């Protein structure tokens, strides 16, 4: 991180803040968490659902923060916390800093939303662009009402390419975020029945995703999935705002067209045509959904003015992150097994994609699916779980299931496919651990609230490779 991200004067002006004490002339970063705060950061005392950041403002300065940003109604109570910038509302101040950061940046900006694949696509964009100029991208999945302005405020003034992820659970949440980001290019990876409990229909979800168009700069480009059932609806929204539509998918008319994708080691060898130019490249993670998202990233890079040929070379370095397809080698007896960690989250589309990856992963032994409930599906939850039966039967030899909704899927499978069911992931874990054999390939997936991550940790600890034993760490992800 630059040691001169913001001048204190410029930051105070952007936030209309009162300066208390004698802060340094420059700050090096923006922090909302004392655990990750670095020396010379400005600490924003955000009030969260669990903690009020004001309680840690003093600790932030003691750790080396350049200053703390404090709300007016806390200023007297925290009189000893100095230097500080005093503002009416800390979150709104962060938003103001984000808007000012966007205004000063002369680089090209891309924003990504979609029901599935936002973070992976953001990482592909980062890999594809960072060798072509100063590139700034959001950390992890910082895609909500505080993550987006935080990422904007952290963007250096000399950024050539900015990459932002924008998420939502309800209608109306994307509009204020995209208007802050003001992307030159916006991507919608796909529209699926995710968070359907909060929407009357999948068409309503498409409308909510299309909110990203409202922030796209005049003359900007939107990159859409031609293969998705909501494509025409999204095109209608884009054209109503006068935006240019670019398409990716398998259709012959696509601007980024998938010709074929073949499994290759832990990834795919992709043949495609991007903006009229044939290309072949290796993507360092498996799954057709990731291949399609790589086309979206390459098409966006083309419209940002980047070099697609340089970008395809960089995509070989892409690997699925923890919880989103990371691969872990397990030592089982005198042999090995492969664990595919998909535990971060789940919905019907991503569940099918993960099962498809399981089914196409070369395996000498059994393919085992360990699945937890998909949440926020409303009254359709039961049916949406049972409807996964065909995907499980086609791609897995054995299912271990956790949760009341997964019980419906488990019960409709043939007896030989049923490993075990339990009400919770914790109760299911012993059965999974006892079942693993050499040469198995295991996929673990479920919504975050289903707590499937601890099953991954339990497997990695029980079957740690020799190189990790004695170090107090779980097995390492394959490269």
For the domain that residue 191 is a member of, what is the CATH number?
A: 3.40.1190.10
In this prediction, residue 140 carries a pLDDT of 78
Rounded CA-CA distance 174/289 in Å is: 23
145 and 79: one domain? no
For residue 405, give the CATH number of its domain: 3.90.190.20
Last residue of a domain, one of 60, 92, 124: 92
Answer yes or no: do 354 and 411 share one domain. Answer: yes
pLDDT per residue over 8-29, tens digit each? Answer: 999 999 999 999 999 999 999 9
pLDDT for the residue 195: 82
Q: Which of 317, 343, 378 is the last residue of a domain?
A: 317
Q: Do residues 189 and 304 both lie within one domain? A: yes
- Which residues in the chain land under pLDDT 50? 1, 466-479
The pLDDT value given to residue 1:
43
Domain count, the chain: 3
pLDDT of residue 372: 97
Give, in degrees to the nearest 5, the angle at Cα 140 between 479 and 193.
100
pLDDT of 464: 85
| CA dist., res. 5 & res. 61, Å (int) | 18
283 belongs to a structural domain = yes
Q: Which residue has the tokens 């939107």?
A: 222
Residue 176 belongs to a domain: yes
Instruction: Single out the residue in 270, 291, 317 at which a domain terminates.
Output: 317
Q: Are residues 155 and 203 in the same domain?
A: yes
Q: DSSP secondary-structure letter at 286?
A: -
Is there a domain that residue 473 lies in? no
Task: Give the pLDDT confidence score for residue 116 in this predicted structure.
Answer: 87
103-120 residues labelled b (16+ CB within 10 A) or e (exposed)? eebebbbbbbbbbbbbbb
On whether both 295 and 369 belong to a single domain, the answer is no
In a domain, 11, yes or no: yes
Cα separation, 196 vs 15, whole angstroms: 37
Tokens linked to 325: 């397809």
> Which domain, by its residues, includes 215?
105-317
> Same domain, yes or no, for 296 and 403?
no
Say if 369 falls within a structural domain: yes
User: How many whole angstroms separate alpha carbon 111 and alpha carbon 20?
Assistant: 36
If asked whether residues 156 and 302 sit together in one domain, one would say: yes
Please report, for residues 114, 148, 308, 311, 475, the alpha-carbon distance to residue 14 in angstroms, rounded to integers and kept in the order given: 31, 17, 36, 35, 46
Q: Indicate whether 59 belongs to any domain.
A: yes
Instruction: Identify whether residues 244 and 304 lie together within a single domain.
Output: yes
DSSP class of residue 142? -
Q: Is 471 among the domain residues?
A: no
Asked whether residue 1 is domain-assigned, the answer is no
Burial of 174 (0-12, 13-18, 19+ CB in 10 A): buried
Task: Give tens-digit pLDDT for 350-361.
Answer: 999 999 999 999
Give 187's contacts (C-beta < 8 A, 6+ positions apart). Answer: 110, 111, 112, 113, 114, 121, 222, 223, 296, 297, 300
Structure tokens at 429: 């874990």
181 and 307 inside one domain: yes
Mark whether 51 and 122 lie in a shared domain. no
- 114 with 172, same domain: the answer is yes
Give yes or no: residues 361 and 312 share one domain.
no
């Amino acid at each position: 991180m630059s040691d001169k991200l913001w001048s204190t004067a410029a930051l105070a002006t952007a936030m209309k803040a009162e300066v208390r004490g004698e802060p340094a002339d420059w700050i090096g970063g923006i922090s909302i968490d004392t655990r990750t705060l670095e020396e010379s950061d400005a600490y924003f005392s955000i009030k969260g659902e669990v903690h009020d950041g004001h309680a840690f403002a003093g600790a932030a300065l003691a750790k080396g923060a350049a200053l703390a940003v404090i709300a007016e109604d806390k200023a007297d109570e925290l009189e000893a916390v100095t230097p500080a910038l005093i503002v009416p509302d800390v979150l709104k101040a962060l938003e103001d800093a984000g808007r000012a950061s966007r205004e000063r940046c002369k680089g090209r900006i891309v924003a990504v939303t979609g029901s599935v694949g936002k973070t992976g696509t953001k990482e592909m964009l980062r890999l594809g662009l960072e060798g072509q100029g100063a590139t700034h991208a959001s950390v992890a999945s910082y895609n909500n009402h505080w993550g987006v302005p935080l990422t904007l405020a952290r963007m250096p003034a000399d950024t050539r390419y900015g990459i932002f992820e924008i998420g939502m659970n309800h209608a109306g949440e994307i509009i204020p975020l995209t208007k802050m980001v003001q992307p030159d290019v916006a991507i919608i990876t796909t529209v699926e029945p995710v968070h359907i409990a909060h929407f009357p229909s999948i068409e309503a979800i498409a409308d909510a995703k299309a909110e990203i168009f409202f922030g796209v700069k005049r003359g900007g480009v939107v990159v859409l999935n031609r293969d998705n059932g909501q494509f025409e609806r999204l095109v209608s929204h884009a054209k109503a705002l006068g935006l240019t539509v670019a398409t990716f998918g398998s259709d012959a008319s696509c601007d980024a067209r998938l010709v074929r994708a073949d499994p290759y080691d832990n990834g795919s060898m992709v043949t495609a045509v991007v903006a009229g130019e044939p290309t072949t490249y290796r993507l360092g993670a498996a799954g057709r959904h990731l291949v399609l998202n790589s086309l979206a990233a390459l098409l966006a890079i083309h419209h940002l003015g980047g070099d697609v040929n340089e970008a395809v070379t960089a995509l070989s370095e892409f690997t699925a992150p923890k919880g989103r397809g990371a691969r872990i080698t397990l030592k089982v007896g005198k042999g090995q097994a492969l664990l595919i960690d998909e535990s971060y989250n789940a919905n019907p589309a991503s569940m099918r994609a993960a099962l498809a990856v399981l089914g196409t992963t070369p395996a000498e032994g059994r393919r085992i699916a360990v699945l937890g409930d998909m949440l926020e599906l409303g009254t359709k939850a039961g049916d949406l779980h049972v409807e996964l039966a065909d995907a499980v039967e086609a791609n897995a030899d054995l299912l271990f299931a956790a949760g009341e909704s997964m019980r419906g899927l488990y019960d409709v499978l043939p007896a030989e496919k049923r490993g075990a069911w339990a009400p919770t992931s914790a109760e299911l874990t012993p059965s999974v651990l006892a079942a693993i054999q050499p040469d198995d390939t295991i996929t673990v997936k479920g919504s975050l609230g289903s707590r499937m991550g601890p099953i991954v940790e339990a497997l990695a600890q029980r079957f740690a490779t020799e190189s990790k034993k004695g170090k107090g760490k779980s097995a390492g992800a394959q490269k």
